[in-house]
Structure 1
Amino acid sequence: MIKMIALDLDNTLLNSQKKISTVNEKILKQLHQAGVKVVLCTGRPINAIRDYLDQLELNQPDDYTITFNGGLVINNQTKEPLFSLGMTKADLQPVYDYLKANQLPMDVLDFERVYELTELGPSRYRQTVQGIEFVDTTMDALPNGNHVFAKAVLATAPAKVTLVKEKIQLPAHIRVVQSQPHILEFLPAKVNKMLGLNHLLSKLGMQVENLMTFGDADNDLEMIAGAGDGVVMANGLPEVKAVANHLTASNDEDGVALYLKKTFDINL
């Protein structure tokens, strides 16, 4: 029995205009009101998706969001963390060295803000993410010691992202995933959305068999493969479709709502 629905945002729940459609909103609200947990799963911080949480009315005491691609599981109401996992400045040094050598930009995120490394040139990330503080700084000026960072980001032209994804070689403690055509993310090796979901399932007394997931991209693969029912959008990547239990229509065709309507036998 499905008790939790976890959804990626970009190119999954959101259409090409970065909106949650009326039909997707209606069916998710209906299921949430019926007691099914609805969990947004994103690489962004929670403040950057607050409008989506408010639109879906995901504001109950036991509503949570998977942020930073599984690096932080946070309560929507209190903002208290249920689980977090990050990395240090030293862990990020190989990423910095590669991007600097190839004249590419870099943003570094902790769980509060984005640090844009100005010595590497302008990044597209500031135009992509809203609702979080941006700080212009340098690699040398980043906090040292035990300061925990969530991830690093390359945000540039899609063609450059594709090339880097194909060629980059980094130490085993760093995982590389593409979250959008123009964004490559560098995460702690163990971090993925399914890691965060496993902690949330345990907190709520649920099993993976109770979990349905929707996604399209590299950073969704583990939660698609690990769920009781992993559903991939028609616009999803081939390697993500390969591990899915089911496929649905694209994000611009209300693929989430169409699948939920059929699965839960809901009339809208």
Structure 2
Amino acid sequence: MCKLVAIDLDGTLLTDQLEITPNTITAIQQVIESGVVVTLATGRMFPSAKKFADQLKLDVPLITYQGAVIKDAEEKKVWFDRPVSEAISKRLIELAHEHQVHIQVYQDDIVYSAVDNEEIQGYAREGDVSYTVIDDLNSLSEKGFTKVLFIGEPMNLDRFQITLQQEFGASAHIAKSKPHYLEVTNPEANKGTALLYLAEQLGIERSEIIGIGDNHNDFELIMTAGLGVVMGNGVEALKSVADYITKTNNDEGVLHALEQFVLNPVTNDN
């Protein structure tokens, strides 16, 4: 029996137009009415995720910033908070400068950039969030960052990811959320760790969880959930570990999965 569904946003719940289809909204409401907890598990910052949570009328803790922060949709309680350390935060800023890669950092639900360029502007439009330009990102690093995001050409970021992994190893969680987005969080901050923490707080077993995602940063989500569902548009590396591959994000893949495993499970021969 499913008691908790954790759904990624971009490339999963959202269409390529960054919308949730009306039929999917209706299905999620039906799942909630059946007594199942539905939450979001996204790399997006909390203010961006909250807008979709409000649209879905979710009043549960949301997994945001790749799992670095779990916070009530109503912002009354922070359940989980794992920032990047001060030392690693400072080193990431240095590496961005050395390799000439755009960097933006997150702290207290604000995204900061040292420059007002196309990368941060495009990110703000896509996420429907505001941003703050500050000359010296190092001045914020003492507190540590919720998340660090690098934006660039996919192949350049692939090479840069290898550089980061060689330097930090297990002391940081490094994953792509999109071909042009490379994200760094605390090693305890990933969607799988956050999902298990939330489930434990709610008294839900791992076997009672469905996780739905599409990209590399959803690996822990898919592997942690009792049933890992990957979108038809998902990356091949994630599909290879999926328990079930649903339809694409533009073909209401989340709706299909919810019908298959929660709303009408008797129709599923598996």
Fold in common (TM above 0.5): yes
Q: How many residues align?
A: 261
Q: Does the CA-based 8 Å contact 1:105-1:117 persist in structure 2?
A: no
Matched, 1:190 2:181: no
- Pairing 1:139-218 to 2, within 5 Å after superposition: 139=136, 141-145=138-142, 147-168=143-164, 169-172=166-169, 173-218=171-216
State the partner residue of 1:80. Answer: 77
Q: Identity across aligned pairs (percent)?
A: 27
Q: Does the CA-based 8 Å contact 1:45-1:111 persist in structure 2?
A: no
How far 1:178 sits from its partner (Å)? 0.5
Counterpart of 1:230 in 2: which secondary structure?
Answer: strand
Q: Which of the pair is proportionally richer in helix?
A: 2
How far 1:138 sits from its partner (Å)? 3.6
* CA distance in 2: counterparts of 1:220 and 1:149, whole angstroms: 21
Alignment RMSD: 2.0
* CA distance in 2: counterparts of 1:9 and 1:228, whole angstroms: 19
Q: 1:124 aligns with which of 91, 111, 119?
A: 119
Counterpart of 2:168 in 1: which secondary structure?
Answer: coil
Matched, 1:134 2:131: yes
TM-score by length of 1: 0.90
Q: Does the CA-based 8 Å contact 2:246-2:253 persist in structure 1?
A: yes
Q: Does the CA-based 8 Å contact 2:210-2:228 persist in structure 1?
A: yes
Q: Does the CA-based 8 Å contact 2:152-2:181 persist in structure 1?
A: yes
State the partner residue of 1:226. Answer: 224
State the partner residue of 2:67. Answer: 70
* CA distance in 2: counterparts of 1:74 and 1:178, whole angstroms: 23
Q: Does the CA-based 8 Å contact 1:105-1:154 persist in structure 2?
A: yes
Instruction: For 1:186, give the aligned amino acid.
Output: V
State the partner residue of 1:38. Answer: 38
Is the alpha carbon distance of 1:69 and 1:232 closer, same or farther for their aligned partners in structure 2, counting shifts above 3 Å?
same
Question: Any stretches of 5+ residues in structure 2 without a counterpart?
Answer: 266-270
Q: Does the CA-based 8 Å contact 1:155-1:182 persist in structure 2?
A: yes
